Structure 1
Amino acid sequence: MRFVLSLILGIGLVFTVNAQAVYEDERYVPETDPLVLKKLEEWQGLKFGLLMHWGAYSQWGIVESWSLCPEEYGWCERTKGSNPQDYNTYRQEYENLALTFNPVNFDPEKWAKAAKEAGMRYMVFTTKHHDGFTMFDSQYTDYKVTGSKGIFKNHPRANVTREIFNAFRNEGIWAGAYFSKPDWHSEYYWDPYYPPRDRNVNYEPEANPEKWQQFVDYTHNQIMELMTDYGKVDILWLDGGWVAKTPKGEITEWYEGALGEQNANGYLKHRIVNQDIKMDELVEKAREQQPGLIVVDRAVHGKNQNYLTPENRVPEKPLPFPWESPMISGGGWSHTFNAKYMSGHKAIHLLVDIVSKGGNLLLNIAPGPDGTWQQGAYDLLDEYAQWMKVNSEAIYETHALAPYKEGKIALTQKPDGTTYFFYMANEEEKAMPSQIVFKSLQPSDKAEVSLLGGGKLKWKKEGEGFVVTIPSKWQKNPPANYVWVIKVSEIN
């Protein structure tokens, strides 16, 4: 360990900057299960999904779970409660939020309908975050949405995970279960005898194998509840990449940085702890119940990370493996009072940018403590709905095509060779130009060229590319906002 820490101090600042790039370029182990490969290919064609962070913490409008973690990061700051300077008082008041959580206006069918109209084809819901509060009726804890002392326990829709899964599946949307591997409420992870030191287990698993096995069993049991009692589950989306087996001499690589995070002085703010959760065994059991299940053991290098998840950002270039970008739509990951949502222009450009690089967009919307979405979330999804009504064929079941993007033009292609050219208008650009020039690719002599939502276009070859002429009727009245799509049936 002394050698490892010396290495960190010596090259950490440089390596941390480049860690994500290395992670994206090299750290992927392909799946071999044919059912999973088929499912993964289908998932890559879905392109657009919904992520929802929701828990008792939404009552305070704070970042999910992290204020319980005694690390010196801004997202761990304690700002609510009667005495946020006293950790023990704060933690008790935070956990008491479970008693007052009462989302009486919970209406998942409304959410699912809005998501479907926006063009979302899969959904990932936080069944349990790091704080350990389960949003399903787990028999292994009373710290849950149906807890015996909670005021929501007798509501007919109290088992919110089941209600959400059913509502979205009824709209033809895939169901995905987010599940946090660390559990800061469990006595098997944060033993009450010791104070928590950081995000990790607060005892040494290798020195306390029986206690650690209790935590492994607890985690497996809860996940298997989700795999057996909640209908068809398409994706198991695991968070907390620091909970992983760390062979001696290696450093677990996870999304905050391959060598861990550092403060201004270059020292780690948390430890690296070997936390073997027996993931291979768990995945095998899960797939016995859910054949073809996509597993995303986030940021843990190995065969159980079926796709990668660069968080709240878009890679600079296409990646050579399946990936999605989880992105905040407004406020934070969890509910933020009076959240400001991204503009329609930014939202549509975001989707096109990700899809043209071969990825999927997983857009986060955070329900509030009463069980409703803010109007801004519905307004944003309506922007997607209006645009997708015209242009969705250029999004679904497509792949990236070099050169991916040239100036304001992005590209996608169907397996049959149909190619789409996205003209990404500037924010102030409301009218289409009279001509659009494409420099890198050229239609075949037999190709049909058309404007999605419009009709056939005249075009001519120019160098290695081509030029299309936009009739004045569409210049003044474009078929969609923000991005206009030219379809070419066949390219050379």
Structure 2
Amino acid sequence: MNLIMKKTRYLILMLIYLLASFCSAYSQEKRAEIEWFSDAKLGLFIHWGLYSQAAGEWKGKPTKGGEHFMLYERIPIKEYELIANDFNPVGFDAAQWVKTAKDAGMKYVIITAKHHDGFAMYDSQSSDYTIIKRTAFKRDPIKELADVCKKEGLRFGFYYSLGRDWHDPDVPTNWPQKAGRSNTWDYPDEDAKNLPAYIECKVKPQLRELLTNYGTIAMVWFDTPELVTKQQSTEIRELILSLQPDCLINSRIGNGLGDYSIIEQTLMAEIKRTPWEACLTMGRNWSYNKFDTLYKSPEATIRNFVDIVSKGGNLLLNVGPTGEGIFPPRSTETFNGLHDWLKVNGEAIYGTRPWKVYGENLIEGTTEDASQLSFHDAEFDGTPKVNVPDLRFTSKGNVVYVFARSIIDNKFVINSISKEDKINKITLLGSKKNVKWKYFESGLQIDMPLLDTNQIPVYVLKVELK
């Protein structure tokens, strides 16, 4: 047996092993949920809490750290709690939020039930630090959103800060060093903090509430496991599945126990064929900040979305509502751009899987300009800043979808498609005009119809193979 045959046999055996492991690890219903997740491609992330009321300002000055400003400004709990006195989001309309998400093509919604500041944005009986007990609003937005999502056919899930809680005295942290993300101004003795007490007295009771009182929960989106042990992650996972067996859990439950992995504010460098999700912001910040003017263009957002899907992932796109409970005006352009583009090109996104390659460049020597900044968990954006003409691919059955992103010339060569691929037909989604094509030694030459300069310049060719 030659070396190539040995390697092929090894790869086949590994694939069989991984498939068998997957099938044994999950019930048929759970596997169906993971398949649904892989088909869905697009969700809405909502960061909303007391930090939204502050809107990036504290005592008349811009804050550092976005929604993490309690940490960055070292604000004592007794002062930070006073924000709740002014937080009365009477503009909140769950039906409008869900309509906006659905119209934009989103298939699921994730909202912050409890962020690092420890404030519960729902009717928690395990804490008195909640939107019901501390604000004049006296409504449960998590309940209202869950009900509307069910009515409109969107999956619903919640974000929960696991290993950070600046309101609780028993939460130590270890990133980027010991006590690096802990409340050390109210609770200075890091070694005295009792993480098991926090897990048992706050985390588990609140998870039980959220998984019991709000109908079907599609996903639990944990953040920052920090010092959570494998035993604690295991117990939390068992608790979730005992209450909602089909619920998906992200990788930030910690210790390798999630159903799907997460990357944040950056793009994947290669195809990943196990479930994953990229969470990206529309603007600079996760939560509403009145000083934020750096919103991504619809073209940049759709380029990022296509890149993520071509590599096998989902985009969880974040919006930060105001303290009044309204999506910021700058987000409207993004939502509308997604709506218009997906109305034409959605078949190349939903239910697709990566092709044999994720993409190729059209101009030699060019590549996407991803940020070289080191990761920073408050304000960071590692997504590309330049719209480079290039190609991305997805596939479905005998169809390959070719995304021509930000192209300048409607004539180009696809090197990854050759005569061996046996093309039956090529069309341009959203156009009735013919696409001219012919094989070259270097690949497939495309001559697209003249481009509509009024639409977002991410065009999709549907290549049907015999």
Q: TM-score per shorter chain, which class?
A: 0.7 to 0.9
Distance change >3 Å, CA 435–CA 197, structure 1 → 2 = closer
What do residues 179-220 of structure 1 show as CA deviations (whole Å, max 9, x unaligned)? 111322124448xxxxx95435869999887x8336424211
Distance 1:442-1:478 versus aligned 2 partners, 3 A rule: farther
Q: 2:44·2:318 contact (CA, 8 Å) conserved in 1?
A: yes
Matches within 5 A, 1:168-317: 168-181=149-162, 182-189=164-171, 197-200=179-182, 212-213=196-197, 215-245=199-229, 278-298=232-252, 300-302=254-256, 304-317=257-270
Residue pairs, 1:72-221, within 5 angstroms: 76=72, 78=73, 87=74, 90-147=76-133, 149-153=134-138, 158-181=139-162, 182-189=164-171, 197-200=179-182, 212-213=196-197, 215-221=199-205
Q: Does the aligned pair in 2 maintain the 1:109–1:167 contact within 8 Å?
A: yes
The residue that corresponds to 2:69 in the other structure is 67
Structure 2 CA distance for partners of 1:33 and 1:205, relative to 1, 3 Å: farther
Aligned positions of 1:317-466 closer than 5 A:
317-340=270-293, 341-407=295-361, 408-414=390-396, 416-426=397-407, 429=408, 433-442=409-418, 444-445=421-422, 447-455=424-432, 456-463=434-441, 465-466=443-444
Give 1:150 deviation, angstroms. Answer: 2.0
Distance 2:245 2:70 in 1: 36
Please say if residues 360 and 391 of structure 2, whose CA atoms lie closer than 8 Å, have aligned partners that are also in contact.
yes
Aligned equivalent of 1:54, options 31, 48, 58? 48
Per-residue CA deviations over 1:92-132 (Å, capped at 9, x if unaligned) read: 22121122210010012112111111111111110000111
Give the TM-score, by structure 2 length: 0.79
TM-aligned CA distance change 1:145 to 1:449, over 3 Å: same
CA gap 1:188/1:411 in 2 versus in 1, 3 angstroms:
same
Q: Provide closer, same or farther for how the CA distance between residues 58 and 479 of structure 1 changes in structure 2, counting only shifts above 3 A.
A: closer
For 1:484 and 1:342, the matched residues in 2 are separated by: 19
Residue 486 in 1 paired to residue 440 in 2? no
Provide the C-alpha distance between the structure 2 equivalents of 1:208 and 1:108, rounded to a whole number of angstroms. 38
The one-letter code sitting in structure 2 at the alignment partner of 1:68 is: M
For 2:225 and 2:310, the matched residues in 1 are separated by 28
Q: CA offset at residue 165 of structure 1?
A: 1.9
Are the equivalent residues in 1 in contact too, given 2:427–2:462 (CA < 8 A)? yes
Partner deviation per Cα, 1:312-331 (whole Å, 9 max, x = no partner) = 00022222422111101113
- Compute the TM-score of the two structures, normalised by the length of structure 1: 0.75
SS at match of 1:98: helix
Larger strand proportion of the pair: 2
Distance 2:288 2:315 in 1: 20
Counterpart residue identity of residue 171, structure 1: E
Counterparts of 2:250 and 2:47, CA distance in 1: 17
SS at match of 2:263: coil
Amino acid in structure 2 at the alignment position of 1:152: F
Instruction: Report if aligned partners of 1:401, 1:411 keep a CA contact under 8 Å in 2.
Output: yes
CA positional deviation for 1:59: 1.4
The CA deviation at 1:53 is: 0.6
Q: Is the partner of 1:105 in helix, strand or coil?
A: coil
**CA shift for structure 1 position 479:** 8.6
SS at match of 2:153: coil
Contact 1:453 1:480 in 2 (8 A): no
Matched position secondary structure for 2:338: helix
Q: Which residue of 2 aligns with 1:13?
A: none
Q: Deviations over 1:430-488 (max 9, x none)?
A: xxx443321111375461210000134232212252223323xxx15369421010001
1:193 equivalent in structure 2: none
Name the SS for the 1:489 alignment partner.
Answer: strand
Structure 1: which amino acid aligns with 2:443? Answer: G
Task: Report the CA distance shift for 1:98/1:297 in structure 2 as closer, same or farther (over 3 A).
Answer: farther
CA contact (8 A) 2:260 2:276 kept: yes
The Cα of 1:305 is off from its aligned counterpart by: 1.5
Checking the alignment, whether the CA contact within 8 Å between 1:452 and 1:479 is kept in structure 2 is no
CA contact (8 A) 1:307 1:323 kept: yes
Which residue identity is paired with 1:185? Answer: H
Secondary structure of the structure 1 residue equivalent to 2:132: coil
Q: Which amino acid aligns with 1:139?
A: Q
- Inter-partner Cα distance in structure 2 for 1:323 and 1:295: 11
Contact 1:294 1:306 in 2 (8 A): yes
Q: How many residues align?
A: 396
SS of residue paired to 1:316: coil
Secondary structure of residue in 2 paired with 1:420: strand
Flag the 1:445–1:331 CA change in 2: closer, same or farther, 3 A.
closer
